[in-house]
Amino acid sequence: MPNGYNGKILHVDLTKRLLTIEEPSEAFYRKYMGGSAMGMYYILREMPRGADPVGPDNVLTLMTGVTTGASISGQSRINANAKSPISGGIGDSQGGGFFPAELKFADIDGLVIKGRADKPVYLWIKDGKFELRDAAHLMGKKTGEVEDILKEEIGDKKIEILQHGPAAEKGVLFSSLVSMANRNNGRTGMGLVMASKNLKAVVVRGSKKPTVADRNALIALSKTGPKLLPDNPDMPGLAEEGTATVVLSQNTIGSLPTRNYSEGQFEHCEDISGARMVETVLKERDTCYACIVRCKRVVEIKEGAYKVDPRYGGAEYETLGTFGSYCGVNDLAAINLANQMCNEYAVDTIAAGATIAFAMECFENGIITTEQTNGLELNFGNADAMIKALDMMLTAEGEFGKTLGMGSERASKVWGKASEDYLVTVKGAESPAHMPHAKRSLGLIYAVNPFGADHQSSEHDPYYEEGVADLNLNRLKLLGLDVPQPERSLSPEKVRFAYLTELFYSMLDSVELCQFVYGPAWTLYGPAETVQMINAVTGWDVTVDELQVVGARRLNLFRVFNNREGMGRKDDKLPKKFFKALKGEGPTAGIALTHNEIESAKDEYYKLAGWTKEGVPTQQTLENLDIAWAI
């Protein structure tokens, strides 16, 4: 019997309504470990080249990892992968909560979904049994309503539901998958892919806890969590204030995107900070299965213009950034309402907020007027207009709403060439609220990452800059990194930092571990404890080096997929706006990226990765990683 996982992958062919179980070998699980590395194994084999992202040939994988469901913090994660309708390259997103662990308890490790049902269905999985059920009555309903209907219908309040929302049914490109009505597999349009298959939801319930190889070792490690937390420089803030805790530190280093990435400091940053949320609108903290950190927010606002229902959670840092400083808005209630609306309709808050900020900059510069916006005075700082624009986007109201729902890159094609100057997208993905002007190596990762600008694909620069805390540097040494670099450098050593930490993060998105609990530097547990945890659960004898290879496999499989779809170095491109000096105040005012530094960093990065100058993995690289089959 395997430890940690069930050894069962459920294949769902919606066209044929055929559901079959595959039982891969232990060697297969150890090689890919779950998540997106495992998903890519199926996607590359089963999806034809050039498949329509919203056609039946697209293959959607939902994979947990080999430790999901174990009784320790930070293991309840699930990865969604498919061809992205946004970029035409690979799509990738992670989500947490209780759904991932419950899928494991239901005796399934992951799903490979293809085809298209002839009418809306949902997939019901309970304790190793599964069936497709009619979902016509769920269509058009908000995520919370779908939760209520299914709990009533199935007669079990403890079922977990992963669903696409009404935005996907209206064709919003950056639609997400939502569980608990407030946890998202947010990025790259995975909700639209699931909707295109006429699969409304995956609903799970199980009673089978995965076996653990060394229970005592897992309990011992688990008990260190509460002791490690208070002495870690970063964890108490995350626990108390959630991810919003970084609003002020981001502002201090000039990395809080303000007015659509025109400035790095927001004059009203205190109003949208984690501390202000705790003082004013926070109802309680929430968590994911078995996690002691409890970083999730629950916000309730009963009075005023913007009322917020606690079932939809509360704004994360990225949401405070994109609907806050990005839009020049400092109204916490409006931002939390925007968060609620995104969760009700199931869309990525980064893409939604950033697209509205892009529209605001176009409006301020006369590229669009009230004629296009349906009368909305879409100036920076106008919270009412922001909420109305979001409503139009989510319901695809009128031409303006439909255009916003395509994301900023496609909206720019509608509004004309002059608007391109205001884009902050890479491979169609709007940039998160961390600025490459302050975090240079993150700029490189935004460029080369296979699914576009992403802030959770490598460690952030301040953790490898002079003055970094001992805890962080001691952990980075385990990856071979021990020469912190000057602030804002993009030296070859910084590129090495970006690449090696990217491999570690890539492994985390395969084993499916939360990047706030396990990581190469600042998290609750570092690389040594990550190894201990995986070994305690599985009974294997993995090392940091073996985990880095798992990370490299995922990254190379992504790259092979993109190359197959015609993507390469030409697509590893940052937006023009990043090369224009920032305005405003603070340490990044007047700072721009340069083409030379980014192009040299790309050369250096491709060399480290074993790729050609065009960004294509060599045959030798794939053979070294034992994935030559992917050629």
Answer for the pair 142, 134: CB distance below 8 angstroms, yes or no.
Answer: no
Say how far apart CA 478 and CA 270 lie, in whole Å. Answer: 37
Among 121, 194, 291, 332, binds ligand SF4 (CB under 6 A): 291
CB of 183 to ligand SF4, least distance (A): 8
Residue numbers 39-78 binding ligand SF4 by CB under 6 A: 73-74
Among 516, 522, 525, 561, binds ligand SF4 (CB under 6 A): 516
Comparison of 84 and 182: residue with beta carbon closer to ligand SF4: 182
Spatial CA neighbour of 490 closest among 599, 607, 606, 614: 599
| 293-296 contacts at long range (C-beta below 8 A, 24 or more positions apart) | 293/73, 293/74, 293/229, 293/235, 293/238, 293/239, 293/516, 293/517, 293/524, 294/239, 295/238, 295/239, 295/242, 295/243, 295/516, 296/182, 296/183, 296/242
Q: How far apart are the first and last CA of the chain?
A: 33
Among 356, 514, 555, 567, binds ligand SF4 (CB under 6 A): 514
Q: Does 522 bind ligand SF4 (CB under 6 A)?
A: no
CB of 26 to ligand SF4, least distance (A): 26
Comparison of 73 and 188: residue with beta carbon closer to ligand SF4: 73
Among 161, 295, 333, 574, binds ligand SF4 (CB under 6 A): 295
Comparison of 235 and 362: residue with beta carbon closer to ligand SF4: 235
Work out the widest C-alpha separation in the chain, in whole angstroms: 66
Q: Does 96 bind ligand SF4 (CB under 6 A)?
A: yes
CB of 554 to ligand SF4, least distance (A): 20
- DSSP per residue over 4-31, as a string? SS-S-EEEEETTTTEEEEE---HHHHHH
User: Looking at 16-24, 169-177, 454-462, 509-517, which segment touches ligand SF4 (CB under 6 A)?
Assistant: 509-517
Residues in the chain: 631
What phi and psi values does residue 300 have, to the nearest 5 degrees? -135, 130
Q: Does 244 bind ligand SF4 (CB under 6 A)?
A: no
Type of residue at 434: H
Among 63, 86, 288, 359, binds ligand SF4 (CB under 6 A): 288
Among 83, 296, 440, 494, binds ligand SF4 (CB under 6 A): 296
Return the half-sphere exposure (C-beta side, CA atoms, 13 A cut-off) of residue 205: 11
User: Looking at 38-46, 142-150, 224-232, 286-294, which segment touches ligand SF4 (CB under 6 A)?
Assistant: 286-294
Report the SS3 class of residue 86: coil
Cβ within 8 Å of residue 308, ≥6 positions away: 281, 299, 300, 301, 314, 333, 336, 337, 339, 340
Q: Does 264 bind ligand SF4 (CB under 6 A)?
A: no
Q: Residues touching ligand SF4: how many (CB under 6 A)?
A: 13
Give me 387's structure tokens.
């909420």
Residue numbers 309-368 binding ligand SF4 by CB under 6 A: none
Say how far apart CA 566 and CA 150 lie, in whole Å. Answer: 42
Comparison of 73 and 349: residue with beta carbon closer to ligand SF4: 73
Among 249, 287, 489, 491, binds ligand SF4 (CB under 6 A): 287
Among 116, 133, 208, 294, binds ligand SF4 (CB under 6 A): 294
User: Looking at 442-450, 494-502, 510-518, 560-568, which segment touches ligand SF4 (CB under 6 A)?
Assistant: 510-518
Instruction: Report the interface residues with ligand SF4, using CB under 6 A.
Output: 73-74, 96, 287-288, 291, 293-296, 514, 516-517
